Amino acid sequence: MRFAMVATFYPPYSFGGDATYIRALAHGLADRGHEVEVMHCQDAFEIGHKGPTPKDPQSHPGVKVHRLHSRFGPLSPLLTQQTGRPMLKAPALRRFLGEGGFDVVNFHNVSLVGGPGVFAYSRAPVTLYTLHEHWLVCPTHIFWKNREKACDGRTCISCSLRSGVPPQLWRYTGLIEQGLAHVDRLLSPSAYTAGRHREYGITRPIDVLPLFSVFGDDEAPPAWKQPDRPRFLYAGRVTASKGIEPLLRAFAALPQYDLQIVGDGDQREALIGAYGACGNIRFLGHMPQAELKGLYQSANALILPSIAPETFGLTVVEAASCGTPAIVRAGAGGSPEIVETFGGGFVYGSEAELKDAIERLATDGSLRRRMGALARSAYEERYTAARHLDSYLATVEAIAAQKAGA
């Protein structure tokens, strides 16, 4: 089959885990003999990126990538953000989707590449939209209100202004519903995210399809050994919504345990200034996946302290593939589902509970090994690339068969 992936970001012109997943999905489909093409907006990446473009060694001969780069630069994604339509990118997207002869078009994060208006451009027998973020129902994408707290009620225009997001009047028209009418199925990485979209009025069919670890570990990880100094890991964006500062505060009071922070973001410099003198806290910045894998394997646990609700929590699954348990904040959206279902870690609701979980996994090696084994079993049962691709392709075939029968 011929697959098209349409997204705002794609490596190396990307910031977060959604683009990493899209690349892994595209490569996985190509490995199974399918033809895959990707179109994304390079201009959108360059709005928020400073410095040289990171290199991406993970190209694939079976995946063709089209990068939208306009001579108008940031004006192109800004017009899309304001209108909910492709605008300056419309001719290229119409040609790509209209003339590509695709069997499946999978839209991902399209906030700056086409908005809901781009859904109508698909001419494929099967059209999908993957819910990497809460963008369809939240202008900030992450239910982070006024740049200071998890959303507790819809005041979207004032929140947008306080969050530095230009208000989007098209959200108060029928554009989202009109666009989604062209989508056969929404794919949600968690039951939480599916429920949240239904709660906010999305009526199109939604299937829960968990993401998978990009490490692709078919072999069991090496046996874990208790380090001389217990070591914990955070991996992700260093921003307020991720709950980094409360985590740092906890480790500043636990100098006998080490915390490694992998990632970058707008809070990084300020937090280095506030906590850089703590000898047990290290800010490692951005790291290649190959190096990150070793940190996962050697850690006592991954910690995911997000205050804003995550759609899934891919780092929890990446840790599980390495046989590493996770400590997850109770309000972190779909992330606690992974731990609560399989038992490979702790879910905490307060700083006291966070410290207790850290203490237990730092001092009880047998507990860490037992929870690590549960996490690995969860990965093998539900979060491998093979299982994800099987379910993904089964969904495609079911939709195609249903429409053919109709």
- What's the pLDDT tens digit per position in 335-376? 999 999 889 999 999 999 999 999 999 999 999 999 999 999
What domain range is 303 assigned to?
A: 231-382
Q: What is the DSSP letter of 6?
A: E
- Specify whether 391 is located in the same domain as 341: no
Compare 219 and 88 and report the one with higher pLDDT. Answer: 88
29-68 tens-digit pLDDT: 999 999 999 999 999 988 877 777 767 667 899 999 999 9
162: domain CATH number is: 3.40.50.2000
What is the number of domains present in the chain?
A: 2
**For 281, left (φ over 0), alpha (ψ -120 to 50), or beta?**
beta
- Specify whether 363 is located in the same domain as 396: no
Q: Are strands 144-145 and 149-150 parallel, antiparallel or unpaired?
A: antiparallel
Q: What is the DSSP letter of 121?
A: G
CA atoms within 13 A on the CB side of 311: 24
- Specify whether 282 is located in the same domain as 148: no
Q: Decide if 371 is inside a domain.
A: yes
In angstroms, the CA 163 to CA 183 distance is: 30
- Specify whether 144 is located in the same domain as 264: no
Global confidence as pTM: 0.92
230-247 tens-digit pLDDT: 999 999 999 999 999 999
What's the sign of the alpha-carbon dihedral 260, 265, 268, 271? negative
